[in-house]
């Protein structure tokens, strides 16, 4: 998802590392000495896959099928048949390989299979780049099985994985990688994004003892001399969906690299080959045990109904695996997981700065009038393709599981319609509609709903604190070009309680809330109605909450909705990610310390015991304060509570830029006293 039309190969301008206390000339001399000592260079040839961004995802997929994969095979064959010393090995995602094998003609399938057996085409152990915090353990684990299936079929052993663009991932993936035989993970960070403060090469260890060798690089990938001093790795990219290199480019690349490493043998290679070189050096690498986190994860709040449906199916799959109703290694499970997992893939749609623009169309009335223009229709079509993966995934399920999944999705679409028949219960709530929990030593203000708008100053602050390259493409991608100070203020509105009743038969409280616009927040951008319900079990150990935004208008102005909880006596907080509890204070500097994507729950450790808040529909939770466009390396203040982001559209590209409709947000609060 590079934010420029063409990205030059990282090899043409290779990074020079400067040691502390050296002058530039000294550094160049020392670099030359190091390079002279290198005896072997592993060349990794790749194309960055954005499933979308440059064009509709369906068009991108077909370009790989009809053009890029055949071209990669042809380039490798031409170099070999010409007798040239240069070789070409193209690495791509296992999803693309499997899709091509399914779709290609018998003749073209045979050509790819021959290229695989020759080693000209290889796959990454992860099917495509995901934002891992959006997945659960069962789904991600099954997605990794695709590479293993291909390995078994073609006699390969893929031990390495790569994810590109996304700045960080959760430690929860480490046990799953190791279980799948993957011991090397390379992460190449978007060039305009902050890089987490981890060693460039290290061991990343999970609390359960599992670990992978982790390579972190600024940009999609570049060169690195490995710890033995005799081996180097160079990743050579073409830009977003640009396809493989030409024969001439390959020859020029070899010549350039040979000049940089004059005494080395150059080998077209694989990340698994690099993993094998690193394996004996592993114990000498620095150890990282902390969470890293994803500073892009807030984008997953831009399509709340899609994410609610995705999370519901992911939970279904998790329960089916747990109950033995589907074999996670079966073809049906893998096909389902790969198709559903495309929702977690890091590209959500077209590049806004290329395909939409209309930078003068932010005001609500102007925007509503423009929705039928071709550019607006096309970009909405790209988001619709993303959401379509959910229904498409169902075709791979056995009939009974498919019927169950379809019913879950139908239930999700139902909108609660409170009758407000019962005893007035307004005294149970604060004026903002929040509820004060006071039970068994637990105290917590819960369910504070708020609306937030953002100004140009907010985006300028974010640009200055987060973006590492102040170039046009980066400013456009991470901002809102054309937004002017007179269009929106930086403002937070708290909900107001309108009425509330208690239904004794259901032991449930129903409330109606409102958000009243003020200043530059216009009433017409706010939902028509807002409802909440609180259902208590007999001993109040569980409280079920549901908040419903009814007929929220689509709005291009930057905005967010939050639901906040303020527990008292907080000692610690943990967020479950990909099946692993992660302490929110145990995140590396430069990772995402403020916001997390959660699988099932957040645990709040208090003086009285533990409060577990499960979030069925909302993925995102901010710790300490409502935090968007406030990148910081500081630790969050646990006294500031936790804030579930119900929706936001502050990303400037790639994710959804607006959402309109009705959506429910369901939570379960469980009180677990210390004596339990």
449: exposed, middle or buried (Cβ count in 10 Å: 0-12, 13-18, 19+): buried
What distance in Å separates the CA atoms of residue 188 and residue 221, rounded to the nearest whole number? 5
Are residues 287 and 203 in contact, defined by beta-carbon separation less than 8 angstroms? yes
- Tell me the helix, strand and coil percentages in the chain, rounded to 5: 35, 25, 40
* More confident of the two residues 219 and 314: 314
Number of residues in the chain: 676
pLDDT for position 646: 99
* pLDDT value at 13 more than 50: no
418 occurs within a structural domain: no
Q: Is residue 212 part of a domain?
A: yes
How many C-alpha atoms does 383 have within 13 Å on its Cβ side? 24
pLDDT at 29: 45
Tokens at 39, concatenated: 């005896």
| 8 Å CB contact between 176 and 578 | yes
Of 384, 52, 92, nearest in space to 100 by CA = 92
Average the pLDDT over 411-428 and give the result. 89
127-132 mean pLDDT? 98
Q: Is residue 5 part of a domain?
A: no
| Residue in 567, 550, 578, 547 with CA at minimum distance from that of residue 667 | 547
284 vs 278: CA distance, rounded Å: 10
Find out whether 119 and 89 touch, Cβ atoms under 8 Å. yes
Does one domain contain both 281 and 430?
Answer: no
pLDDT of the residue at 116: 99
pLDDT tens-digit map of 239-274: 889 999 999 999 999 999 999 999 999 999 999 999
Domain boundary, last residue among 227, 261, 288: 288
Domain assignment present for residue 398? The answer is no
What number is the average pLDDT over the span 510-518? Answer: 88
CATH number for position 643: 2.70.98
* Chain segment 299-334, per-residue pLDDT in tens: 999 999 999 999 999 999 999 999 999 999 999 999
Beta bridge partners of 646: none
- Report how far residue 334's alpha carbon sits from residue 126's, in angstroms, rounded to the nearest whole number: 13
Point out the domain boundary residue: 288, 315, 348. Answer: 288
**pLDDT tens, position by position, 483-511:** 999 999 999 999 999 999 999 888 999 99
Mean pLDDT, the chain, as a whole number? 94
282 and 427 co-located in one domain: no
Domains identified in the chain, total number:
2
Strand, helix or coil at 437? strand
What is the reported pLDDT for 34? 77
Q: What is the tens place of the pLDDT at every residue in 457-492?
A: 999 999 999 999 999 999 999 999 999 999 999 999
Q: If pLDDT is split at 50, 70 and 90, which confidence band does 21 have?
A: very low
Report the alpha-carbon distance of residue 326 to residue 622 in Å, rounded: 35
Instruction: Domain of residue 44: give its range.
Output: 38-288
DSSP state of 455: -
> Which of 233, 260, 288 delimits the end of a domain?
288
Model pLDDT for residues 150-192, shown as the tens digit of each residue:
999 999 999 999 999 999 999 999 999 999 999 999 999 999 9
Query: For residue 187, what is the domain's CATH number?
Result: 3.20.110.10
**Which pair of structure tokens corresponds to residue 611?**
């409060």
Examine residue 108 and state whether it is found in any structural domain, yes or no: yes
pLDDT band at 560 (very low <50, low <70, confident <90, very high): very high
- Average pLDDT rounded to a whole number, residues 30-58: 91
Tell me what pLDDT residue 17 has.
32
Both 283 and 427 in a single domain?
no
pLDDT digits 0-9 by tens, 525-547:
999 999 999 999 877 689 999 99
* Structural domain includes residue 1: no
CA neighbours within 13 Å on the CB side: how many for 498? 12
pLDDT tens-digit readout, 357-402: 999 999 999 999 999 999 999 999 999 999 999 999 999 999 999 9
Is residue 590 one of the residues assigned to a domain?
yes
Q: Is 560 inside a domain boundary?
A: yes
Do both 650 and 502 map to the same domain? Answer: yes
Question: Do β-strands 620-623 and 595-597 pair in parallel, antiparallel, or remain unpaired?
Answer: antiparallel
Q: What angle do CA 465, 300, 93 make, to 5 degrees?
A: 100
Give percent of the chain above pLDDT 90. Answer: 89
């Amino acid at each position: 998802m590079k934010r420029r039309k063409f990205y030059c190969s990282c090899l043409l301008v290779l990074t020079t590392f400067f040691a502390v206390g050296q002058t530039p000339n000294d550094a160049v001399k020392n670099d030359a000495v190091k390079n002279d000592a290198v005896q072997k260079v592993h060349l990794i040839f790749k194309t960055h896959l954005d499933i979308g961004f440059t064009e509709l995802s369906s068009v991108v997929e077909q370009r790989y099928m009809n053009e890029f994969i055949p071209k990669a095979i042809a380039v490798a064959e031409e170099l070999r048949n010409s007798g040239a010393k240069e070789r070409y090995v193209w690495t791509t995602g296992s999803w693309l390989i499997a899709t091509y094998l399914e779709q290609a003609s018998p003749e073209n399938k045979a050509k790819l299979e021959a290229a695989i057996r020759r080693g000209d085409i290889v796959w990454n152990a992860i099917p495509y780049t995901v934002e891992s915090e959006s997945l659960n353990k069962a789904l991600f684990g099954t997605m990794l099985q695709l590479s293993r299936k291909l390995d078994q079929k073609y006699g390969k052993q893929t031990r390495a994985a790569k994810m590109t663009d996304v700045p960080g991932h959760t430690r929860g993936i480490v046990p799953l990688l190791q279980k799948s035989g993957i011991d090397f993970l390379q992460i190449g960070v978007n060039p305009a994004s902050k890089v987490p403060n981890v060693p460039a090469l290290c061991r990343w260890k999970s609390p359960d003892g599992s670990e992978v060798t982790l390579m972190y690089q600024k940009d999609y990938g570049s060169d690195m001399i490995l710890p033995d001093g005799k081996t180097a790795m160079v990743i050579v990219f073409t830009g977003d969906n640009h396809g493989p290199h030409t024969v001439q480019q390959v020859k020029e690349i070899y010549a350039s690299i040979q000049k940089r490493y004059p005494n080395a043998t150059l080998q077209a290679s694989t990340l698994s080959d690099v993993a094998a070189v690193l394996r004996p050096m592993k114990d000498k690498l620095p150890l990282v045990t902390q969470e890293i986190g994803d500073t892009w994860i807030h984008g997953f709040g831009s399509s709340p109904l899609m994410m609610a449906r995705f999370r519901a199916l992911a939970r279904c799959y998790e329960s089916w695996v747990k109950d033995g109703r589907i074999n996670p290694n079966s073809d049906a499970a893998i096909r389902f997981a790969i198709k559903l997992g495309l929702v977690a893939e890091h590209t959500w749609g077209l590049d806004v700065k290329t395909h939409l623009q209309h930078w003068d169309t932010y005001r609500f009335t102007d925007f509503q009038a423009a929705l039928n223009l071709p550019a607006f229709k096309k970009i909405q079509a790209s988001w619709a393709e993303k959401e379509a993966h959910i229904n498409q995934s169902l075709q791979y399920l056995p009939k009974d599981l498919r019927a169950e999944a379809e019913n879950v999705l139908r239930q999700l679409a139902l909108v609660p319609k409170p009758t407000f028949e019962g005893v007035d219960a307004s005294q149970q709530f604060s004026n903002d509609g929040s509820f004060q929990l006071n039970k068994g030593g637990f105290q917590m203000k819960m369910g504070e709903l708020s609306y937030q708008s953002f100004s140009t100053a907010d985006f300028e602050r974010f640009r200055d604190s987060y973006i590492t390259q102040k170039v046009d493409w980066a400013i456009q991608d991470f901002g809102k070009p054309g937004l002017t100070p007179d269009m929106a203020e930086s403002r937070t509105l708290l909900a107001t309680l309108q009425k509330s009743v208690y239904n004794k038969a259901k032991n449930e409280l129903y409330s109606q809330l409102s958000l009243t616009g003020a200043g530059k927040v216009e009433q017409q951008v706010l939902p028509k109605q807002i409802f909440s319900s609180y259902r208590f079990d007999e001993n109040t150990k569980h409280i079920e909450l549901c908040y419903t935004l009814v007929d929220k208008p689509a709005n291009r102005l930057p905005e967010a909705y939050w639901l906040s909880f303020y527990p008292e006596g907080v000692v610690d907080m943990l967020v479950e990610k990909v099946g692993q509890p992660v302490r929110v204070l145990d995140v590396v500097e430069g990772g995402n310390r403020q916001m997390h994507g959660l699988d099932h729950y957040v645990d709040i450790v208090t003086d009285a015991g533990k409060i577990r808040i499960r979030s069925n529909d909302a993925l995102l939770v901010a710790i300490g304060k409502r935090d968007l466009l406030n990148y910081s390396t500081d630790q969050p203040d646990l006294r500031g509570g936790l804030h579930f982001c119900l929706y936001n559209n502050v990303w400037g590209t790639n994710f959804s830029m607006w959402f309109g409709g009705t959506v429910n947000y369901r939570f379960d609060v469980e009180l677990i006293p210390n004596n339990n």
